Chains A and B, each alone.
Chain A
Amino acid sequence: MHKRFLKPFAGLVAGLVAVLAGCATLPDVAPYRDATVQLRSSVLASGNAVGAELRNAALAVGDKARPGLEERAQDFSENWKARVESVDALVAYAQALADITKAGKEGADTARSLAGALTQLAGGVGIALPPAGAVATVTDTAAFVYAQVAAVKASRSLEEALVAAQPAVNEIAAKLGKDMDASLALVDAAYGLQRLALADKYNQEMGFLNALERERRKLYGQAQLSREDEKRLKEIGELFDSTRSWREPMQAAFVRLEERYEVEREIIVATKAAVSEWAAAHRGLAVAVRDGRTINVEGLIQATLEARELVRRLRAI
């Protein structure tokens, strides 16, 4: 009974396996999806950094310029939401690609699960099934065959999805790249406005320090120092020391601004690089699926990891 039941399948299985074997090597899309999730965090962090710097600049500038700058900061943040929504859609897309691959790799489980459901249904309506051993063998055979079928279907679906998406991938990467360039200019401008405000605030103090510094350099530049010169140098040193109470907070304000600015700039540059790597990895993915090769997303992973590290540093400042 068992062998008689299986006999018609033998040729079909052998034929199918021969046709399907080697046709469908599914790449691992999970690293691409994970990197896309990280890309979303980088885009979000870049927008947050620009928005925060514009608001900081608005607080730093005078009353006359403040309302306009606050409005620009608000406009920016509102518009940046569309960037975050667009990378949300990229995450959904990358997740769907990973799901196709997963479904393609789990063909055998799918077939077994369906066989179980059909067995239950047959039992419910009173259809007499072959002996358990025969059912198990048929299920195993179906699972084996469907594993190959699912892999081929997944490979085709993946290739179709990747080819269909490529023009949109190129377009969104170009637009986000331009957004990153504009963001860089905004951070530069916000930094410039805050540095200007600090210069204005500490104008008197900086002028005094610069004058002392000039005089000290002039004295040191002389071939020989007279007793008077030495006395003056000592006085200059004491004057420098006496400025410590306001000089250190002033210098700390400049240093804090510089540090934050450097990291924010690096985040935006890293995000721009990650966007570019993401689009390149997508092209690589399409080629890998078509040629049955593995994909290399190392560049993308590195770019997104760098952005993540910078976000961590920014939070620490």
Chain B
Amino acid sequence: MSDEWEGIKGHKQWKAKLEELLAEAESAARGDDAKRFAVSRRLTDFILNSWPNDKAIKAMDEIAKCSAQNLLLQTVDERVREIAGRTAELRQLAKEFQDLADAANASASAIRLEKAHRVARTLTDSVHILKDFRASLDTGSDADLLRNVEKAMDTIQKLRTLVEREG
């Protein structure tokens, strides 16, 4: 129990205390969050300490409660609005970091010689397929020939795409 509530007796004194707190709440509403929290805490403590809990005191408690609640809700409104106000900028920054990550990934890929690996792999595959094609010209059935022609066409298409993409 805080000293602030010691010695307060009777409706008159509790009413005077409430009026003092309401005046501070009015000023805190125009102030910063810390001031609002301090006053709302004292208003809450007023509810816990005011005594006896008769009709008059309960009416005062209700006023204290509304005042404390309004101060806290005001902070909630303002801080959520503040956070929402930065969201678009943060989305933009996220995009920027994704671009930076893409650029860094491209660098890592270049150091790993991934293009050269891809070209070598595709060329090797192409050579094998074209060899099969040549063999089927001599020995294969019409169906084999047709299938290998399709594979060869596909391979040439892939090679063309790779050359276009890798520059």
Interface of A toward B, CB cutoff 8 Å: 54, 57, 61, 65, 68-69, 72, 75-76, 79-80, 82-83, 85-86, 88-90, 92-93, 95-97, 99-100, 102-104, 106-107, 110-111, 113-114, 117-118, 120-121, 124-125, 150, 153-154, 157, 160-161, 164-165, 168, 171-172, 175, 178-179, 182-183, 185-186, 188-190, 192-193, 195-196, 199-200, 203-204, 206-208, 210-211, 213-214
In the assembled complex, the Cα of A182 lies from the Cα of B120 at a distance in Å of: 55
A196, B69: Cβ atoms closer than 8 Å:
yes
| Most chain A beta carbons < 10 A, residue from B75, B100, B127 | B100
Main secondary structure of the interface of B (DSSP, over half): helix
Segment with Cβ contacts to A, from B17-25, B108-116, B143-151, B154-162: B108-116
Which residues does chain A contribute within 8 Å of B82, judged by CB atoms? 178, 182
B48, A210: Cβ atoms closer than 8 Å:
yes
Judge if B123 is at the interface, Cβ distance under 8 Å: yes
Q: Total A-B pairs in contact (CB under 8 Å)?
A: 210
Which residues does chain B contribute within 8 Å of A193, judged by CB atoms? 69, 72-73
A88, B111: Cβ atoms closer than 8 Å:
no
Question: Which residue in chain A gives the minimum CB-CB distance to B82?
Answer: A182
Known contacts: A175-B93, A210-B1. The answer to whether A92 contacts B83 by CB under 8 A is no
B90, A83: Cβ atoms closer than 8 Å:
yes
A189, B89: Cβ atoms closer than 8 Å:
no
Which residues does chain A contribute within 8 Å of B68, judged by CB atoms? 192, 196
* Least CB distance, A123 to chain B, in whole angstroms: 9
Q: A75-B84, A107-B111, A189-B37 are in contact. List 8 more A-B contacts (CB 8 A).
A: A65-B69, A89-B96, A89-B97, A117-B124, A120-B120, A121-B124, A161-B100, A213-B1
* Least CB distance, A180 to chain B, in whole angstroms: 10
Judge if B94 is at the interface, Cβ distance under 8 Å: yes
A203, B61: Cβ atoms closer than 8 Å:
yes
In the assembled complex, the Cα of A96 lies from the Cα of B103 at a distance in Å of: 9
* Least CB distance, B158 to chain A, in whole angstroms: 15
Interface of B toward A, CB cutoff 8 Å: 1, 33, 37, 40-41, 43-45, 47-53, 58, 61, 65, 68-69, 72-73, 75-77, 79-80, 82-84, 86-87, 89-91, 93-98, 100-105, 107-113, 116-117, 120-121, 123-124, 127-128, 131
In the assembled complex, the Cα of A228 lies from the Cα of B102 at a distance in Å of: 84
A203, B48: Cβ atoms closer than 8 Å:
yes
In the assembled complex, the Cα of A68 lies from the Cα of B43 at a distance in Å of: 22
Which residues does chain A contribute within 8 Å of B77, judged by CB atoms? 72
A157, B107: Cβ atoms closer than 8 Å:
yes
* Least CB distance, B61 to chain A, in whole angstroms: 6
Which residues does chain A contribute within 8 Å of B117, judged by CB atoms? 113-114, 117
Which residues does chain B contribute within 8 Å of A204, judged by CB atoms? 53
In the assembled complex, the Cα of A57 lies from the Cα of B69 at a distance in Å of: 11
B52, A110: Cβ atoms closer than 8 Å:
no
* Least CB distance, B122 to chain A, in whole angstroms: 10
A206, B48: Cβ atoms closer than 8 Å:
yes
Q: Which of B75, B86, B98, B111 has a CB less than 8 Å from the CB of A100?
A: B111
